[in-house]
């Protein structure tokens, strides 16, 4: 969705009084997954209309073409809250979304009036509601009916009914209805059936059996022969026997696919997972000559980082989630196909790991930089200032992403061992061990008993008192956390009445999506962690979250508001905070999480490299409340490597209290066995009986929190991050600081960090003096609620060398600057001269004669602006190679720097700084040279991308200067 004027010729007068649009436009918004399902159809006389069923919510939308080459917005500089039945003049420009607030579900007519080519206008009108009285009962005539009552956050009850016409059928058909106000308009019931070739449950609980069948049905609905996304192939379909991501997400995304496959899909359809994994691999596109600094095979085969923050990789570095799916697929593929996929997987993993080691590894901490895995909406999980300084996000280190890379390293080492590559085996084993140590050293917060989700970025670097459930759970299931840490995390991560939120604490002023949300796939990983830590209380909470979400919503939803469990919490007082802002049915990783919950956790079947493990985790509560009507539950027709498996759990009498039931014995085809079986132990048809017995207390620690979901309470939110309003150095060498509260109330105190270390606590807002300041230090401040202890993000850091004017700052007009491109003068948008559109592979840029007066630690940054795409989109983040040489021409520092997309305003736009190159320098003269590296636009898979980087590689930006900043 690049900002670009659409020529007036987009409206063709055709010699008549009315106009026609020569480019098909669509109403694209949160209510339809930003897809192209709702075209503006011509009605004659220059009128175009789309009638769209819209659920309650504050819905963002735009008018755009299938490839986003054309956008029509009301205001290109700010969002507009649209009033129904009001005409708004449109501009043919890209820009922020328009919002439509809807209180109750209904059909809305979007009318584009282009009868006057110079003044196209948009009006949205609600159509009369259809009469729904006397609707037939969807359960009528069914022999078996079951009812569930699910309590709501506000003291009410939602009722879910299930029925089947024949409970004795081999493959049952089901109808499920709910009183919940559904996220998307439509009937309050859904019909589905058990699927041939997929396992089915028989538990004496019709609801449990039905919900498992619902997940299988939704997996099959996501099994497609074509995928598409408006950003690729002009929005046209792409052939691929793949898994699409959900009802509103019709493409294959690396992390969604990978987590879904790991949680359950790879066991049930390994070939389709493999196809999808292959789709997320790419080599260099034709014409690309990789630079020598890129450590990869000649073809460059690697994992694709999807479009995203700042122009994708390496602002985001969680593309190695691919390894989660690859590992499970290697375990479940037929033996004849495994060898070829294993060879390809090692090649792709090795190339990706080696490249990311160069581009995103911080040797000082032993951690990898990059955005938090899946929490990829900057405004939701980062400081409010971060979208304007994405380089600081790029240089931060995230727990979830580092654990992902740890898992990828372990898999690469295993595959290298299998393929008898001793050097790679040793290399990746060593890297994995070192990374595990670094995670525990740098990110474990002993005072919180949990891992920090992320560190601050460069010029700060401190681990933040921010936490996320995916990162904590992955640390447990991967083995990064030891038993003591596992117990602590499970007992201390907060749970609301509907389950665990994906982040903690919540962020003030942000709508529901990652913020203030439950994501079922994250809950599924939390369940895995709870089972591994034998924590029955946390496991019970996860079981309830997953079953309730699928039951009341008639689907495995993308996400839910965390305190209410609602698919849409409508905030009429503050509409902009309503959400989740988008929510898709049959979201792939939610489906995978539910299937995995039943197969892996309830029935305990986990695939291993050479067989299966049998370790069910049936809690006392699950036995009493879900399986109380029977003494035996069964999972039929599970298939692995062409062999069929029936699993029967024999249950002890239901017991009061809490805990889980220990496995007493296991029988395979009538013969007692241990809890792990080799593939060779299995016959063509197998019956596994697992007898459960004594109730074991296990761990019961769980942290409960509760609040009104409409209140920004200090119990569940963190404060706003403060600001450093002033930073000065006195003649005495003391540093003076003014801490700005940024809207925080009086129940907040402040902490000061110097060079990433805590140096002052429990301060009020206002003046503070640092009598122990270094020669050149950088500062940041965080806020803390006195009652709850919840902590904010850090302020944007400020450094003495920068504010005192003692740093070296060289603009592009300085005679020490050389480039093959000429310098252009300032304009209305940028107040500084610039070397425009620099960054083609042949472009060169250097600065000579940079004087360093005193030895110390320095950071070199490029001052730039990258407007190739919006800050949340694209594949065109700047990624370059920076070299620092001394006066003798010797390289003293070199490495990758990042120049992500930056905000672009209609008026004056500020310039920003790149990620830094760190160097320990002596006094003397230095030269900076910047040359090419690569970004995701250099890959063949992005050749059809519709924005910058599609038609040709795009790794370009405007250069305004270079800064050399002393930090110690």
How far CA 560 is from CA of 107, 151, 521, 549, 914, in Å, comes to: 23, 15, 11, 8, 36
pLDDT tens string 762-805: 999 999 999 998 888 999 999 999 999 999 999 999 999 877 66
Q: Name the DSSP class of 61.
A: E
Say whether pLDDT at 328 is over 70: yes
- From the list 189, 178, 193, the residue with the least C-alpha distance to 551 is 178
What pLDDT band is residue 132 in, cutting at 50, 70 and 90? low
User: How much is the pLDDT for 7?
Assistant: 31
Please name the residues in contact with 225: beta carbons below 8 A apart, sequence gap of 6 or more: 239, 240, 241
SS3 category, 777? coil
Q: Does 59 have pLDDT greater than 80? A: yes
Sign of torsion, CA 383 934 407 261?
A: positive
Measured in Å, how far apart are the chain's first and last C-alpha atoms? 42
Q: Of 99-108, 152-161, 445-454, 611-620, give the lowest mean pLDDT range.
A: 99-108
pLDDT on residue 851: 93
Give dist(CA 795, CA 81) in Å, integer. 30
Question: Residue 478 — left, alpha, or beta (φ > 0 → left; ψ -120 to 50 → alpha)?
Answer: alpha
Q: Residue 214: helix, strand or coil by DSSP?
A: helix
CA 286 to CA 303: how far, in whole Å? 17
- Tokens in use for 601? 């956790």
Phi and psi, residue 684, nearest 5°: -65, -40
- The string of DSSP codes covering 226-280 is EE--TTBGGG--EEEEEE--BTTB-S--HHHHHHHIIIIIHHH-HHHHHHHHHHT
> Per-residue b/e over 575-600, b at no fewer than 16 CB within 10 Å?
bbbbbbbbbbbbbbbbbbbbbbbbbb
How much is the average pLDDT of 638-665? 96
Sequence-ordered list of residues with C-beta below 8 angstroms from that of 471, at least 6 positions apart, any chain: 372, 373, 398, 399, 400, 403, 451, 453
What is the distance between the alpha carbons of residues 329 and 641, in angstroms, rounded to a whole number? 11
Token pair belonging to 734: 């003391």
- Report how far apart, in Å, the C-alpha atoms of 878 and of each of 310, 316, 601, 942 are: 9, 13, 44, 16
- Comparing 163-167, 184-188, 675-679, 779-783, which segment has the lowest mean pLDDT? 184-188
Supply the pLDDT for residue 424.
98
From residue 517, alpha-carbon distances to 277, 512, 563, 706, 791 in Å are: 28, 6, 8, 14, 19
Q: Identify the pLDDT of residue 804.
A: 67
Q: Quick one: pLDDT band at residue 905, thresholds 50, 70, 90?
A: confident
pLDDT band at 288 (very low <50, low <70, confident <90, very high): very high
- Cα–Cα distance, 503 to 516 (Å, whole number): 7
Per-residue b or e along 373-401, where b marks 16 or more CB atoms closer than 10 Å to that residue's CB: bbbbbbbbbbbbebbebbbbbbbbbbbbb
State residue 463's pLDDT score.
98
Helix, strand, coil percentages in the chain from 3-state DSSP, rounded to 5: 25, 30, 45
For 486, the token pair is: 């596992």
CA-CA distance, 273 to 263, in Å (whole number)? 12
How many Cβ atoms are within 10 Å of 301's Cβ, its own excluded? 20
Q: What is the pLDDT, as a whole number, of residue 495?
A: 98
Strands 605-608 and 660-668: unpaired
Backbone angles phi, psi at 402, to 5 degrees: -70, -35
Q: Is 547 left (phi over 0), alpha (psi -120 to 50) or beta?
A: alpha
Question: What confidence tens digit (pLDDT) does each residue in 606-638 have?
Answer: 999 999 999 999 999 999 999 999 999 999 999
The CA distance from 464 to 793, in Å, is 7
CA distance 671 to 688: 9
- The arithmetic mean of pLDDT across residues 878-888, rounded, is 97
Task: Tell me if 302 sits within 8 A of 351, measured CB to CB.
Answer: yes
Distance CA 344, CA 279 (A): 13
User: What average pLDDT does the segment 317-341 reach?
Assistant: 96
104 pLDDT band (50/70/90 cuts)? confident
In degrees and rounded to multiples of 5, residue 33 shows phi and psi of 70, 20
Q: Where are the alpha helices (DSSP H) in 581-628?
A: 588-596, 620-625
Ramachandran assignment for 453, one of left (phi > 0), alpha (psi -120 to 50 degrees), beta (any other): alpha
* Bridge partners of residue 608, in order along the sequence: 611
With bands split at pLDDT 50, 70 and 90, how would you rate the model's confidence at 732? confident
- Positive or negative, the CA dihedral 284, 289, 291, 292 is positive
pLDDT band per the 50, 70, 90 thresholds, residue 70: confident
- Residue 20's pLDDT band, with cuts at 50, 70 and 90, is low
pLDDT at res. 8: 31
Of 29, 31, 23, residue with least CA distance to 54? 31
CA–CA distance, 686 with 665 (Å, rounded to integer): 16
- In angstroms, the CA 236 to CA 292 distance is 36
* Measured distance CA(794)–CA(903) in Å, rounded: 21
Taking residues 682-693, report their average pLDDT. 98
Neighbouring residues of 577: CB distance < 8 A, sequence distance ≥ 6: 509, 510, 511, 512, 571
Residue 164 scores a pLDDT above 80: yes
- 867 Cβ contact partners less than 8 Å away, ≥ 6 residues apart: 3, 901, 902, 904, 909, 957, 958
The pTM (predicted TM-score) of the whole model is 0.93
Tell me phi and psi for residue 419, to 5 degrees: -95, 15
Query: What pLDDT score was predicted for residue 13?
Result: 34
Quick check: 15 pLDDT over 50? no
In this prediction, residue 1 carries a pLDDT of: 33
Mean pLDDT of the chain: 94
Tokens of 847: 């600065």
The strand order across the sheet containing 685-696 reads 200-202, 632-640, 643-650, 685-696, 660-668, 671-673
pLDDT tens profile 375-414:
998 889 999 999 999 999 999 999 999 999 999 999 999 9
Query: For residues 276 and 252, is the Cβ–Cβ distance under 8 A?
Result: yes
Token pair listed for 938: 């250099």
- Residue-level pLDDT at 5: 31
């Amino acid at each position: 969705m690049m900002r670009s004027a659409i020529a007036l010729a987009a409206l063709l007068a055709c010699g008549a009084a009315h106009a026609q649009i020569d480019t098909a436009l669509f109403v694209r918004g949160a209510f339809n997954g930003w897809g192209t399902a709702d075209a503006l159809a011509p009605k004659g006389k220059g009128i175009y209309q789309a009638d769209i069923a819209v659920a309650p919510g504050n819905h963002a939308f735009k008018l755009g073409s299938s490839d986003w080459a054309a956008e029509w917005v009301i205001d290109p500089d700010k969002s507009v809250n649209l009033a129904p039945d009001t005409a708004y003049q449109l501009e043919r420009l890209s820009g922020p979304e328009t919002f439509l607030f809807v209180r109750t579900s209904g059909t809305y007519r979007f009318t584009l009036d282009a009868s006057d080519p110079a003044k196209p206008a948009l009006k949205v009108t609600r159509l009369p509601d259809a009469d729904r009285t006397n609707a037939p009962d969807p359960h009528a005539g069914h022999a078996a009916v079951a009812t569930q009552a699910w309590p709501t956050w506000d003291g009410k009850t939602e009722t879910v009914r299930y029925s089947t016409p024949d409970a004795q059928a081999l493959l049952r058909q089901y109808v499920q209805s709910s009183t919940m106000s559904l996220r998307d308009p439509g009937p309050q019931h859904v019909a589905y059936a058990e699927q041939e070739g997929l396992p089915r449950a028989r538990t004496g609980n019709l609801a449990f059996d039905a919900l498992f069948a619902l997940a299988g049905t939704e997996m099959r609905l996501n099994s497609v022969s074509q995928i598409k996304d408006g950003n690729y192939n002009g929005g046209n379909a792409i052939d691929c026997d793949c898994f699409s991501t959900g009802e509103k997400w019709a493409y294959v995304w690396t992390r969604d696919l990978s987590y879904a496959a790991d949680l359950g899909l790879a066991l049930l359809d390994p070939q389709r997972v493999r196809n999808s994994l292959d789709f997320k691999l790419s080599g260099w596109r034709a014409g690309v000559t990789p630079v020598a600094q890129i450590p990869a095979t000649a073809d460059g085969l690697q994992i694709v980082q999807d479009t995203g923050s700042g122009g994708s990789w390496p602002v985001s570095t969680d593309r190695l989630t691919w390894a989660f799916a690859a590992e499970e697929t290697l375990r479940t593929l037929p033996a004849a196909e495994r060898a070829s996929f294993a060879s390809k997987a090692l090649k792709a993993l090795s190339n990706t790991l080696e490249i990311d080691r160069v581009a995103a590894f911080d040797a000082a901490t032993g951690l990898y930089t990059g955005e938090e895995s899946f929490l990829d909406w900057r405004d939701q999980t980062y400081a409010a200032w971060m979208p304007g300084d994405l380089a600081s996000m790029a240089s931060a280190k995230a727990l979830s992403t580092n654990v992902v890379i740890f898992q990828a390293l372990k898999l690469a080492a295993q595959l290298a061992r299998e393929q008898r590559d001793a050097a790679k085996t040793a290399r990746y084993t060593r890297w994995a061990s070192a990374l595990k140590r670094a995670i525990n050293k740098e990110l474990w917060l002993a005072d919180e008993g949990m891992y920090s989700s992320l560190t601050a970025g460069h010029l700060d670097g401190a681990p933040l008192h921010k936490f996320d459930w995916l990162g904590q759970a992955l640390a447990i299931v991967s083995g990064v956390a030891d038993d003591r840490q596992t117990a602590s995390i499970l007992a201390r991560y907060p749970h609301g009445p509907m389950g665990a939120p994906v982040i903690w604490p919540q962020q003030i002023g942000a709508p529901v999506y990652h913020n203030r949300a439950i994501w079922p796939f994250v809950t599924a990983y939390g369940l895995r962690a709870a089972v591994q830590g034998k924590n029955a209380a946390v496991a019970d909470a996860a079981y309830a979250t997953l079953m309730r979400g699928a039951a009341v919503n008639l689907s495995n939803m993308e996400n839910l508001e965390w305190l209410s469990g609602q698919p849409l919490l409508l905030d009429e007082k503050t509409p902009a905070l309503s959400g989740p802002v988008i929510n898709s049915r049959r979201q792939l990783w939610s489906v995978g999480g539910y299937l995995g919950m039943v197969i892996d956790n309830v029935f305990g079947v986990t695939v291993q490299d050479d067989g299966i493990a049998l370790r069910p985790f049936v809690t006392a509560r699950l036995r009493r409340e879900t399986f109380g009507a029977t003494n035996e539950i069964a999972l039929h027709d599970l298939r692995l490597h062409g062999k069929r498996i029936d699993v029967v759990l024999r249950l002890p009498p239901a017991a009061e209290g809490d805990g889980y039931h220990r496995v007493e014995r296991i029988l395979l085809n009538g013969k007692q066995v241990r809890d792990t079986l080799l593939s060779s132990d299995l016959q063509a048809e197998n019956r596994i009986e697992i007898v459960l017995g004594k109730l074991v207390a296990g761990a019961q620690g769980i942290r409960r929190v509760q609040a009104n979901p409409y209140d920004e309470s200090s119990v569940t939110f963190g404060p706003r991050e403060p600001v450093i309003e002033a930073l000065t150095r006195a003649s005495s060498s003391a540093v003076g600081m003014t801490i700005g509260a940024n809207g925080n109330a009086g129940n907040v105190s402040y902490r000061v960090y110097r060079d990433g270390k805590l140096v002052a606590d429990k301060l009020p807002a206002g003046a503070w003096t640092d009598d122990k300041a270094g020669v050149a230090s950088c500062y940041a401040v965080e806020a803390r609620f006195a009652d709850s202890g919840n902590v904010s993000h850090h302020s944007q850091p400020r450094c003495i060398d920068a504010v005192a004017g003692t740093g070296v700052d060289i603009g592009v007009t300085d005679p020490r600057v050389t480039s093959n491109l000429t310098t252009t003068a300032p304009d209305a948008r940028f107040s500084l001269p610039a070397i425009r559109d620099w960054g083609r592979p042949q472009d060169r840029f250097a600065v000579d004669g940079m004087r360093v007066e005193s030895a110390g630690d320095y950071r070199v940054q490029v001052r730039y602006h990258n407007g190739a795409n919006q800050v949340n989109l694209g594949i065109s983040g700047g990624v370059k190679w920076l070299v620092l040489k001394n006066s003798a021409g010797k390289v003293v520092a070199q490495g990758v720097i990042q120049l992500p997309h930056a905000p672009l305003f209609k008026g004056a736009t500020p310039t920003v700084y790149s990620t830094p190159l760190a160097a320990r320098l002596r006094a003397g003269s230095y030269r900076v040279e910047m040359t090419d590296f690569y970004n995701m636009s250099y890959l063949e898979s992005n050749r059809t991308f519709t924005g910058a980087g599609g038609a040709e590689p795009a790794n370009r930006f405007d250069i305004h200067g270079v800064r050399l900043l002393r930090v110690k």
